Structure 1
Amino acid sequence: MSEEVTSPNYWKSLGELAKNEEYEKFVEREFPENATELNDQVSRRSFLRVMGASIALAGFAACRRPVQKIMPYSEEPEDIVPGNPLYYASAMPFQDALAGIVVENNEGRPSKVEGNELHPASKGNTSIFGQGSLLNMYDPDRSRYIRKDGERSSVSAFAEFCSEHFANTDQNIAFISEANSSITYSRLKEQALETFSNAQWITYEPFGEDHALEGTNIAFGQRLRTYNHFGQANVIVSFDDDFLNPAANKNSVEDTKQFTDGRSVSSPEDGMSRLYTVESTFSLTGSNADNRLRIKSGDIELFVYALAAELSQSVSGLEAFNGYSNEFSDHEWIPVLAEELLENRGDSILTVGRDHKPALHATIAAMNVALGNAGETVSYYDVPHIEDQNNQEAFTELVDNLNSGTIDTVVLVGTNPAFTAPADLNFPEAISNAEQVVHLSDYYDETSKLANWHINRAHFLEAWGDGTSYTGTRSIIQPQIEPLYSGISEIEFLNTILTGEESDGFDLVQETWQDYFTSNFQDQWERVLHDGVAEEEEYPTVSVNIAEEFGSQAATFVGEAQPSEGMELVIRADSTVFDGRYANNGWLQELPKPMTKITWDNVALMSKKTADELGVTEAGLGKSEVEVVSITVDGTTIEIPAWVQPGHADDSITITVGYGREGIGRVANTMGTDTYPLRTTENMLVADNISIEKTNRTYEIACTQDHNTMEGRSLLRHATLQEYREDPNFSSYESSYDAEMPGLSYAEEHGEDRPLSIFNSIDEQEYPADEPQWGMAIDLNACTGCGVCTIACTAENNIPVIGKREVSEGREMHWIRNDRYFDGDVNNPKALHQPVPCMHCELAPCEQVCPVAATTHSDDGMNQMTYNRCIGTRYCANNCPYKVRRFNFFNYSKEFLTTGDDPEIVQMAMNPEVTVRFRGVMEKCTYCVQRVNRAKINRSIETNGETKKPKDGAVETACQQACPADAIYFGDLTDPESEVVKAKKDNRNYLLLEELNTRPRTSYLAKLRNPNPKLA
């Protein structure tokens, strides 16, 4: 090469950035001595105690099928062929939005959840919560029976109680419910309010959209749901709105797909949208931004008002902001954003986090109207089931009524306010004043223990139901299995209260849908069950205009806006356990959080500058003992581990909720810190002037960010859109390798065009002409780093969940990891994500060193593992430059099968097509070989043996199918028209560590950003 090329400064952690002595030692001991043994008997018992369903699903149980008596069919069902799975359409509720799913069933037991291609909210993909929902259903810690005053009871006894107690229709009844979009549920709710003359119905969600709805009410005079068409916008400005994160956006799957569609680039001539984010903590959305500004969350309100004032000089409708000025009015971003938005009128989107003040949502709505975005890139839906009153205000009023003793009966449907309600309301004490408390819930949780009646709820995969998507598309939820623990659904629960009789969800749902299908009911009903979606209009959209009253109200809230003072505390839903409802899910607990890579815990995030001021040192490497801080808000103090987060705003602390639970389940118990005590009615999102100080304690955090380090070798390549246009081949090997790379000088002397390696002399394998040759390409420009690929792979391949202790030892078993890199300054870096499965190398180093040929190449080009042949030398892991092999250290099948309740239930979720691995073997990504072989068999049958090559798209790996960004391509490399071949022909395509000449079959398309050069 004519000049030296400098490698990018990618780093995963502050330790790697510093490359200090601790880091060097950590790298050297990546494979620790005596790592194969676990002799601590206490840890063995603890391991079993906390893993619950997760460990059995992980592959530590001995059987793949439930232990049961074999009863032959007297007449075999026509649609069941042993060994062939069946697929049924259904829908998954999350808050008050459904996403369409398709559930794989193996001889009557659901074993995998996928997205429904026909459903607009999923289009074939899922979120981490959708993939993890299966484990929740098989959780042995779910509530197993009805309880009356803590003692076991029955459905019939509950029905008898309802017939007597609710016969008094004049009593004061308070219904407290989760958000729910079910049409049948809404019908029963209306019946309840008609039947009980003194009833009130409150919907309470700790992280709902109440503020957003009230914001549109201020701006337009009615409560409307905002829907952003991210795929149609040229410019997107996000103010603390982590819309790519399923924990922050109940419509994240659809929004992610739209967002990545708007940034799809196949040639230098293509354009892509530009994303600006203004936020306090480094969010998943912020990591995908082209330009990111970190400011305190409490100052975002002032920043938006300053931008509105700048825009008011050029557009109508924002007159209330004319002449307004604050400390951000002179910020360099304000004129740049205003210019961009004005140049893209009707082609831009402004959005704000759902928990910010209604006034801020109203301002954003008015700005979208003023810029011509309403009706173009932003739609507003009139949603029937949204209440007229603000739910938080109504909930607070209800607690006041409880304290005054005016409520006779409280009926709680799913929600858990004893854990999640604002701490200053003291809900547990308030509810004790009611004469009767009835609670339907999945677990015998904090609220259930305060109730007279606890009713165990059926999982959505066990019950009939219905509902609507975020934009109003109707679907039916159909059960995949009988309730494992005899639970009842929400609609059955409500109908029993109304009628005093045991209910059938199927009849209730059919009764509702009779009103929609007035002719040919059975045909239309069966069509909806088959497709999983009803063909009809969505919620009605509303043409909006800024209300006359908006100007006067805006003048008031703008005048009241004050800058954030002192140290602020930001409280958010957790990215993996949400508000705590997924705390007992081992798959989600062990999934590294997108930005911190922490598992099994929550922490207090802070910037490096803030940590230095507090005297808090950053976490060490590997097994991280971190310092604990105490945080005090309005006299309430909690202690929580501190974590230094690059890119976090200064003078701001971010914590997440959902942890620190007791008596819920073996996974959730004692994990993390309960942070809800700091959340009050006045500080739902942000608290100012908090007190924070170090304690003398430390706490161990299991974090994967420094696992599988590449020791400075660059796996990820990225450029700006402008750089790509100037050099379309920027990611090619010749353009990207370091001129000082070992072996290069020798190669140049001998006329070679690439560094030599030990594999150059190895003959490549020859493959049969009739076999497909599989390969994969991953588009880093589409990947958002959400982690759903990891969960989908776990669910598909019976991958172990190993627990916090073993993760901290670097033993996590995920077959596809999602690396997060930082690039640039520690205070304001860029972030990049890269999924890394097995590369399936043509010249695989692992195959050369295995003494027993346990890892070999198949006829269709995949690097395979023969588990029964593996003797656990781990030579292959030592020789894998990509560090994608996982050693199975443990085998607890014997202990597990004699521990806990109903081990046969949790075994039912295992994929029968995937081998259950045992202790002492190496495992890794297989390109979902079970799916490949199934497709080859089907293709051979279709063609009467003429070919085994499936049509393009007939095989989807689990990670590919789940990915809402459509970032993964997989297919036959011998098919020139296949999507994977087209991807590999893209000039952004490159191979990892190509200089090693391992010839990977997995390749990557380089990441592109589209920053505004004025803010570079």
Structure 2
Amino acid sequence: MSEEVKSPNYWKSLGELAKNEEYQKFVEREFPENATELNDQVSRRSFLRVMGASIALAGFAACRRPVQKIMPYSDMPEEVTPGKPLYYASAMPFQDALTGIVVENHEGRPGKIEGNHLHPASSGNTSIFGQASILNMYDPDRSRYVRKDGERSSVSAFTKFCSNHFSDTEQNVAFISEANSSPTFNKLREEALSQFPNAQWVTYEPFGEDNALEGANIAFDQRLRTFNQFDQANVIVAFDDDFLNPAADKNSVENTRRFTEGRDIESPEDGMSRFYAIESTFSLTGSNADNRLRLKSGDIGLFIYALAAELSNSVSGLSAFSGVSNRFSDHEWIPVLAEELLENRGESVLTVGRDHQPELHATVAAINTALGNTGQSVTYHEVPHFSDQNDQEAFVNLVEELNNGTIDTVVLVGTNPAFTAPADLNFADALSQAGQVIHLSDYYDETSKLANWHLNRAHFLEAWGDGSSYTGTPSIIQPQIEPLYSGISEIEFLDTILTGQQSDGYELVQQTWQAYYSSDFQSEWKQALHDGIAGNETFPVVSVSISNDFNTAAADFASNASPSEGLELVIRADSTVFDGRYANNGWLQELPKPMTKITWDNVALMSKKTADELGIKAAGLGESEVEVLSVTVDGTTIEIPAWVQPGHADDSITVTVGYGREGFGRVANKMGVDTYPLRTTNNMHFADGISVEKTGKMYEIACTQDHNTMEGRSLLRYATLQEYRENPDFSTYESSYDAEMPGVAYAEETTGDSDPLSIFDAIDEQEYPEEEPQWGMTIDLNACTGCGVCTMACNAENNIPVIGKREVSRGREMHWIRNDRYFDGDVNDPKALHQPVPCMHCELAPCEQVCPVAATTHSDDGMNQMTYNRCIGTRYCANNCPYKVRRFNFFNYTKEFLTSGDDPEIVQMAMNPEVTVRFRGVMEKCTYCVQRVNRAKIQRSIATNGQSKKPVDGSVETACQQACPADAIYFGDLTDPDSQVVQTKRNNRNYLLLEEVNTRPRTSYLAQIRNPNPKLA
């Protein structure tokens, strides 16, 4: 490495940073401690409990046929070719925002989900929730039938009940639903309110956008949706807004694409946006900031008002903040931010987290308007399905009516307020005062158990529906399979209540769109299903101006804002299980959280300074047990494990919801801590003056942050934009470009002391047939945000099993792509950097040289491949791999599941039939999605009559590449000099991991560039 290359002290955890004797022992182990055999008894019951559908999928499908007899096609459908999947456009609903998807369908059973390139909300990409949603459909713990008073019933019995019960149209009916943008759903909503004159409809989401809507109402006298176009901004300022995280922003896929487009840089001459983050919790979004400020969430408002006051001296429209003075008026960031924003009027974005109060959203909207951003980089949209009422207030009022006994019937559509409602409302007790309670849901959950009628809901892949994206692009949701458990959709459920008859979702959706497609319905309908987009219009963009009443209101709330005192509690949706609706999804439970790398649990996050003041000891390297705290808010106490998070704001503790569920599903059961009891109507997201004490108890946490440690070697390289311009080759090792094998860069053969170390001098290099493509990959660290969707997509594509909390804590996780998170700098305020690490597919692969049975070899197209039937489990290859990317399958998951008595006819259906299922005692790793490569080679050979096996550039996408919303991964043929992957490898930011070892990896990286403001460096 050249002397100019800076080698910062990267570290993953506080234990690694200490580099004490314990650290040395940990990294010197060949394999994680106790990784060879089980030292305790694991019963089949406990094993299957944490596996759920995910582990069942990992073993069963390839080795046993369904129990039922099947009949072959007597007349083969024209479009079906056995073994060749079909692809159908659809859309995935998340809250009230649809994301366009394409579903791979193998002879009638949906498998892999990808983004729809034609859909603006996805542009061909997905989130972790999109990738994992297929597992929810095949979950054996889903509700399987209708229940009446807890006993099994039927849809026909419910239909008869509706015909009689709802004939009384004068009764007081309360509908409570999740947010939904479906025009069919909202048409039925209006019909229900019309048919029942005494009815009311409340939308309840524990983490919705009500505060943002009310903020727009304060600023503009209209409840409008804010859309931040990050690609149009030179400067982005985020106040506690984790907009890249799908759990915090339902438009995260589009946000990520736009954010990374604004930071795309190909040469030192290019510019990139500058991103400031002011936040309490070290978030996924904050980890991508150029400048980040730790600040208690309770002080975010004061900071925003101080910035508005500074800007009021230079722009009109902020006079209400002139003269406002608080503890942040003299903060060093205030004049720097003001200067940047004034220099980029009309080309900046300010945004605040949806958890924060409407007054802060109104202030940020006023600042954007004063700077000329409104209508340029920030737009406001009128959303037809939004009501004029404040949903949170309406929900509180409804609970009060329930307590008064004035509600005859409650109809709950999907939502689960018995688990998620503010604790002080005592929703379960209030619900018991209603005459009849009817609940439609995916699981027989906390609310279902309180209902007179529970109906099992069809998954979105099983039912017809419709809806709109975040900005209003309409789509049709078309089912991929008949409902596995005869569930019904939301629109069928509502129509049955209204008509007293069983409904057909297909007819209901068609009725809606027949009025929309007035000219040629059949043609436009088919085109909408084919494209996944049902129209070109979006939600109307509203031309806004600041309300006349805003200045009066702003002067009041800005001058009366008080600072946060003492310890604060911040309550957020969890980054993997969200509000609890994904708690029974094993893929998501086992996905390491982006900043802590914790799996299967939630914790109380705090800074090291706060932990020291509370007497909390941080977990050491390799330690799995942490101290347990009692956290008390307004007299309610919970116990939760403590976790020291570098970069967290001092005097602030963050917890996430969605855990601690019981009797809900075998995966979610008793995992983590239920933190919803701390949420009240006054403390929905933040609480001041909390009490925290140590309990003296210890709790085991399965955290992957210290697994596969690289012992201080410089794997991730980054520079500031200024450093890159001064030294464009900052990241490169002395290397050359092989003209005979374009794209394969390797250590230059020199003489003297600078010779690269190599153990392969005596080994002849493999020669490849000229007609074969040679595959390689590049990962752009400047685009990667660390979201983890590549890991999730790899799980879904390659039948990777979930192993459970205990096995993860032993270092046995099976993910073929790990996402390393590094810190750089001071423990209290470090930078964070992300790096996905798959198999490098080394040209001189160390694993191949030591395998005694030739189970790992090179293919003709240059991939390092595994022959599972040869592998005898010596693990020599893992020991010899310098990149720590091989995974050993310690258990025979197939055998465990075969004898479990679960549902093989259901769970086998999610398996990818193109990927081998692995059994106990074999090594696994990334294969560059060889099944996709071979499919493309066959198609190319057919198209050229056998003249070429080299697919056209871009026709092969690996699962990780296709899912990545940042488009950070490039894959292609290294013998094609015009391919994208070759162009990236010619970039001066391109480098190889451990290039000095001379393994000649085919996967390389583009070094990361940050653009910090030098005045704040």
Q: TM-score range by the shorter chain?
A: over 0.9
Partners of 1:1010 and 1:749 in 2: CA distance:
36
Distance 1:897 1:354, change over 3 A: same
In the other structure, the counterpart of 1:837 is 838
Moved more, 37-46 or 867-876: 37-46
In the other structure, the counterpart of 1:236 is 236
In the other structure, the counterpart of 1:207 is 207
Q: Which amino acid aligns with 1:904?
A: E
Q: How far off is 1:904 after superposition?
A: 2.5
1:438 aligns with 2:438: yes
- Preserved contact between residue 570 and residue 655 of structure 1 (Cα < 8 Å): yes
In the other structure, the counterpart of 1:949 is 950
Where in structure 2 are the equivalents of 1:111-122 lying within 5 Å? 111-122=111-122
1:827 aligns with 2:828: yes
- Preserved contact between residue 888 and residue 920 of structure 1 (Cα < 8 Å): yes
Moved more, 5-14 or 522-531: 5-14
Distance 1:678 1:86, change over 3 A: same
In the other structure, the counterpart of 2:15 is 15
In the other structure, the counterpart of 2:763 is 762
Q: SS in structure 1 opposite 2:350?
A: strand
Distance 1:957 1:6, change over 3 A: closer
Distance 1:870 1:347, change over 3 A: same
In the other structure, the counterpart of 2:912 is 911
1:828-857 deviations in whole A, cap 9, x for unaligned?
A: 000000000000000000000000000000
Where in structure 2 are the equivalents of 1:1003-1014 lying within 5 Å? 1003-1014=1004-1015
In the other structure, the counterpart of 2:925 is 924
Partners of 1:718 and 1:6 in 2: CA distance:
8
Distance 1:821 1:549, change over 3 A: same
Q: How far off is 1:531 after superposition?
A: 0.4
- Preserved contact between residue 629 and residue 640 of structure 1 (Cα < 8 Å): yes
1:539-584 deviations in whole A, cap 9, x for unaligned?
A: 1000110000001111221133110011000000000000000000
Partners of 2:292 and 2:418 in 1: CA distance:
38
Q: How far off is 1:534 after superposition?
A: 2.1
- Preserved contact between residue 114 and residue 131 of structure 2 (Cα < 8 Å): yes
Where in structure 2 are the equivalents of 1:392-541 lying within 5 Å? 392-541=392-541
In the other structure, the counterpart of 2:350 is 350
Q: SS in structure 2 opposite 1:268?
A: coil
In the other structure, the counterpart of 2:807 is 806
Moved more, 657-666 or 558-567: 558-567
Partners of 1:540 and 1:2 in 2: CA distance:
55
In the other structure, the counterpart of 1:739 is none
In the other structure, the counterpart of 1:740 is none
Partners of 1:229 and 1:32 in 2: CA distance:
45
- Preserved contact between residue 463 and residue 489 of structure 1 (Cα < 8 Å): yes
- Preserved contact between residue 44 and residue 896 of structure 2 (Cα < 8 Å): no
Any gaps of 5 or more consecutive residues in structure 2?
Answer: 737-746
1:139 aligns with 2:134: no
- Preserved contact between residue 63 and residue 907 of structure 1 (Cα < 8 Å): no
1:686 aligns with 2:686: yes
1:254 aligns with 2:245: no
Q: How far off is 1:623 after superposition?
A: 4.4
- Preserved contact between residue 760 and residue 997 of structure 1 (Cα < 8 Å): no
- Preserved contact between residue 475 and residue 535 of structure 2 (Cα < 8 Å): no
Partners of 2:5 and 2:711 in 1: CA distance:
18
Q: SS in structure 2 opposite 1:935?
A: helix
1:671 aligns with 2:671: yes
Partners of 2:848 and 2:894 in 1: CA distance:
29
In the other structure, the counterpart of 2:994 is 993
Distance 1:284 1:34, change over 3 A: closer
Q: Which amino acid aligns with 2:786?
A: G
Q: How far off is 1:64 after superposition?
A: 7.0
In the other structure, the counterpart of 1:818 is 819
Q: SS in structure 2 opposite 1:284?
A: coil
Q: How far off is 1:115 after superposition?
A: 0.2
Distance 1:433 1:8, change over 3 A: same
- Preserved contact between residue 116 and residue 532 of structure 2 (Cα < 8 Å): yes
1:511-543 deviations in whole A, cap 9, x for unaligned?
A: 000111001100000000000002321010001
Q: Which amino acid aligns with 1:590?
A: E
In the other structure, the counterpart of 2:742 is none
- Preserved contact between residue 59 and residue 799 of structure 1 (Cα < 8 Å): no
In the other structure, the counterpart of 1:642 is 642
Q: How far off is 1:61 after superposition?
A: 5.7
1:600 aligns with 2:590: no
1:610 aligns with 2:610: yes
In the other structure, the counterpart of 1:281 is 281
- Preserved contact between residue 414 and residue 440 of structure 1 (Cα < 8 Å): yes
In the other structure, the counterpart of 1:180 is 180
In the other structure, the counterpart of 2:295 is 295
Q: SS in structure 1 opposite 2:642?
A: strand
Any gaps of 5 or more consecutive residues in structure 1?
Answer: 737-745
Distance 1:306 1:853, change over 3 A: same
1:237-269 deviations in whole A, cap 9, x for unaligned?
A: 000000000000000000100000000000110
- Preserved contact between residue 59 and residue 897 of structure 2 (Cα < 8 Å): no
Partners of 2:896 and 2:938 in 1: CA distance:
38
- Preserved contact between residue 2 and residue 734 of structure 2 (Cα < 8 Å): no
- Preserved contact between residue 5 and residue 730 of structure 2 (Cα < 8 Å): no
In the other structure, the counterpart of 1:977 is 978
Q: SS in structure 2 opposite 1:325?
A: coil
- Preserved contact between residue 471 and residue 538 of structure 1 (Cα < 8 Å): yes
Q: Which amino acid aligns with 1:1012?
A: N
Partners of 1:594 and 1:789 in 2: CA distance:
12
In the other structure, the counterpart of 1:966 is 967
Distance 1:3 1:812, change over 3 A: closer
Q: Which amino acid aligns with 1:759?
A: F
Distance 1:728 1:750, change over 3 A: closer
Partners of 1:753 and 1:883 in 2: CA distance:
26
Q: How far off is 1:283 after superposition?
A: 0.2
- Preserved contact between residue 789 and residue 963 of structure 1 (Cα < 8 Å): yes
Q: Which amino acid aligns with 1:70?
A: I
Q: How far off is 1:762 after superposition?
A: 2.3
Q: How far off is 1:62 after superposition?
A: 5.3
Partners of 1:47 and 1:906 in 2: CA distance:
17
Q: TM-score, normalised by structure 2?
A: 0.98
- Preserved contact between residue 380 and residue 542 of structure 1 (Cα < 8 Å): yes
Q: TM-score, normalised by structure 1?
A: 0.98
In the other structure, the counterpart of 1:872 is 873
Q: Which amino acid aligns with 2:308?
A: A
Distance 1:33 1:305, change over 3 A: closer
- Preserved contact between residue 145 and residue 154 of structure 1 (Cα < 8 Å): yes
- Preserved contact between residue 64 and residue 910 of structure 1 (Cα < 8 Å): no
Moved more, 894-903 or 213-222: 894-903
Q: SS in structure 1 opposite 2:516?
A: coil
Q: How far off is 1:897 after superposition?
A: 2.0
1:110 aligns with 2:110: yes
Distance 1:529 1:957, change over 3 A: same
Partners of 2:492 and 2:535 in 1: CA distance:
26
1:70-118 deviations in whole A, cap 9, x for unaligned?
A: 3011211111000000000000000000000000011110110000000
Where in structure 2 are the equivalents of 1:317-328 lying within 5 Å? 317-328=317-328
Partners of 1:658 and 1:124 in 2: CA distance:
29
Q: SS in structure 1 opposite 2:379?
A: strand
Distance 1:882 1:472, change over 3 A: same
In the other structure, the counterpart of 2:25 is 25
- Preserved contact between residue 777 and residue 983 of structure 1 (Cα < 8 Å): yes
Q: Which amino acid aligns with 2:947?
A: E
In the other structure, the counterpart of 2:57 is 57
Q: SS in structure 1 opposite 2:130?
A: helix
Q: How far off is 1:748 after superposition?
A: 11
Distance 1:549 1:754, change over 3 A: farther
Q: Which amino acid aligns with 1:661?
A: R
Q: Which amino acid aligns with 2:701?
A: I
Moved more, 893-902 or 127-136: 893-902
